A and B are shown apart, each in its own frame.
Chain A
């Protein structure tokens, strides 16, 4: 990125903040103004919340707004901001692009309707059917692991429109109004006791043809845009050294030292974890996208779990306890834990499964970065209807 672009942008942000002081507007109104000024997604086209700038400038923008006192509300609608927005921007028609503004402002929360009970790592084998009935499609099926499903106004839906095509070819991508009759959202209780995700049951849901993103049958290609963004660490202010879960581990260690219950091995183990987190942080500053970006995701999945395990190990007998297992249905997802260390540990277990399992991501690294041969595939060029599925 050029220093020029950065300087121009800094000027534009300062001018914007002069006209729209953070304290003078509601968060919603402030974000609408940001969108209209092209300071929402700076790499997007003008009119879509952007200025057509280098995407590498986005963290700089976020940092500047945070410094001016704008609250960090990303996690309220991270699927919308992180996944839906780039997908709509890349593939949406004029009507669909209008969804970007309420998405950005926070008026509309978004969810992703991809995974199914029978389609996890092998997403392209999904079985939710969308049948062409003239003006509409009629959708039947079941989606799972839907974060924000219970609060979402819109969903990114991937469904099968042609079961006689090979699995990647018969898919179509829809923008689904979650208020459509036949959409039923149920909390999915996980090992933490909370319902951080949902199951979404789709029964004879009528979806207008105008809701197709791109063209029928091109769903997989468009889904790739979404998934590429899923493997990028959520944008925002770059983490500082020693921030996040590792700070909890350091605090836990210090408490144990005070209690006379820590030794040199605990200190060395702490510093190993610190190094693992710091290496990921430094890596994320160089490669946030592309296959190399998944190294950060893999490393953090492994390290954050180990960090919370460390916290429990040093906690002593109180680690035998949990705050409670009451079923909550939180409106905000916190994938890296926080709060009770036992809860954080349990939540971190999912980090190596969600957003691409560590095993699948290692295949991606091996095949796309190192050029190793792909997995043998028994479902290649076979109509989806004849593939073996569980």
Chain B
């Protein structure tokens, strides 16, 4: 139902959908849910090699295509539809955007080619919704930097060969690389894989104890804020893809399921619920596509466009994923039906990075809408 007809984007959508239909059907999703790493690295490398997925933001001379946010948004949408178990969010959104926004050209040249080739999974660790001073701290030990502290919910943090760590140095934030990119164990790094509600996306708690690190950028507070705006715009696209998919599932079921001698989709109680789901999904689509285009064309306006889009996409996906279960009735509550996989993805994606409430509050700040007076001792 997308109205976007950028050539390239439609073609990319088609090849990505075909690829994921072959490589990541529901049976594969369920198999990967039970593995330790949760992703199929071989398929990831194929996706990078055959479709260029991992290099869509990476400049051409560094092994990518430099295609941009709108194109990568299409891939995230398709990944969201398929619940693709891949290091897309960690590597292509969070880590790639962090490197591109915060580091200089030499660091790009060092880190991005391996990412574009699908050879390295990278994860980004920081404190706070947006990078802020927290337990992650870096200090010099002789010639070398070391990192101490904890980052709680790092996407693909359990398996990434390359860790980007945003740590405090005195009162500012610098960006460090931990790990060689080859996967050899790192001294002083403890990775605790977490049991997640959404089994299709892995999170880890990372504990750093004087972990050797290499500094790649300084004073990155603002640049990582921009990076996370871009990463969240891509996550919003993933949410849109999932929301679109559950709407289709609900519509298909409402056509096929007969009760009282009629398809349940002929009853207005169901029909109107589906129409409301369609409304929510299409309003989210307009918002998300606007954010992706804004990221390319007017980056200064991205914070407003993104916070709006993420709040809308998050709430929409959770709502329609829940409605999809309801339309399916009892079968939708079973483990063997995929409805719960989407519901769990929806709820988790809503709460990770900036929640809708966080984004609305930020939006109000960005628009210059004053804070409440109650907090400042107002009389209500």
Contact = CB atoms under 8 A, between A and B. Distances in A.
B287 A279 contact: yes
Given A267-B361, A282-B287, A295-B283, A372 B379 contact: no
B275 A363 contact: yes
Interface in A237-277: 241-242, 250, 253-254, 257-258, 260-264, 266-268, 270-272, 274-275
A269 B201 CA distance: 31
Nearest to A250: B369
Interface in A346-380: 359, 361-363, 365-367, 369-376
A382 interface: no
A299 interface: yes
Given A271-B360, A366-B274, A262 B380 contact: yes
A286 interface: yes
Interface of A: 241-242, 250, 253-254, 257-258, 260-264, 266-268, 270-272, 274-275, 278-280, 282-283, 285-287, 292, 295, 298-299, 359, 361-363, 365-367, 369-376
A257 B279 contact: no
19 contacts: A261-B373, A262-B378, A263-B378, A263-B380, A267-B369, A270-B369, A274-B367, A275-B308, A275-B360, A275-B363, A282-B286, A283-B283, A292-B282, A295-B278, A363-B268, A372-B254, A373-B262, A373-B263, A375-B266
Contact of A262 (B1, B254, B304, B373): B373
B363 A370 contact: no
A257 B286 contact: no
Interface string B175-211: 0000000000000000000000000000000000000
Contacts of A376: 266
Nearest to A278: B308
Q: Please list the 5 inter-chain residue pairs (A to B) with the smallest Cβ-Cβ separation, ordered nearest first.
A: A260-B378, A271-B360, A362-B275, A279-B283, A373-B266
Contacts of A242: 367
A278 B3 contact: no
Interface in B286-327: 286-287, 289-290, 304, 308, 311-312
A260 B274 CA distance: 42
Main secondary structure of the interface of B (DSSP, over half): helix
Contacts of A254: 369-370
Given A292-B1, A372-B265, 19 more contacts: A253-B369, A257-B372, A264-B372, A267-B364, A267-B371, A270-B369, A271-B311, A275-B308, A282-B286, A285-B286, A286-B3, A286-B286, A298-B279, A359-B272, A362-B271, A362-B275, A366-B275, A372-B255, A372-B266
A264 B374 contact: yes
Contact of B275 (A263, A279, A365): A365
Contacts of A370: 251, 274-275, 278
B286 A263 contact: no
Interface in B332-380: 357, 360-361, 363-364, 367, 369-375, 378-380
A267 B369 CA distance: 8
A152 B99 CA distance: 65
Contacts of A274: 308, 363, 367
Main secondary structure of the interface of A (DSSP, over half): helix
B222 interface: no
B271 A260 contact: no
Given A362-B275, A373-B262, A257 B373 contact: yes
Contacts of B275: 361-363, 365-366, 370
Contacts of B243: none
Given A257-B372, A282-B287, A299 B279 contact: yes
Nearest to B3: A286
A125 B149 CA distance: 73
Contacts of A299: 279, 283
B286 to A, nearest CB: 4
A271 B362 CA distance: 10
B18 interface: no
Contacts of A372: 251, 254-255, 263, 265-266, 271, 274
A375 B379 CA distance: 54
Contacts of B262: 373
Contacts of A362: 268, 271-272, 275-276
Most buried by A among B263, B286, B312, B361: B286
A374 B255 CA distance: 11
Contact of A295 (B271, B279, B370): B279
B284 interface: yes
A112 B275 CA distance: 29
Most buried by A among B278, B283, B312, B380: B283
Contacts of B380: 260-263
A292 B281 CA distance: 11
A371 to B, nearest CB: 7
A268 B372 CA distance: 10
B312 A279 contact: yes
A361 to B, nearest CB: 8
Contacts of A267: 361, 364, 369, 371-372
B155 to A, nearest CB: 26
A299 B281 CA distance: 12
Contacts of A279: 283-284, 286-287, 308, 312
A292 B275 CA distance: 11
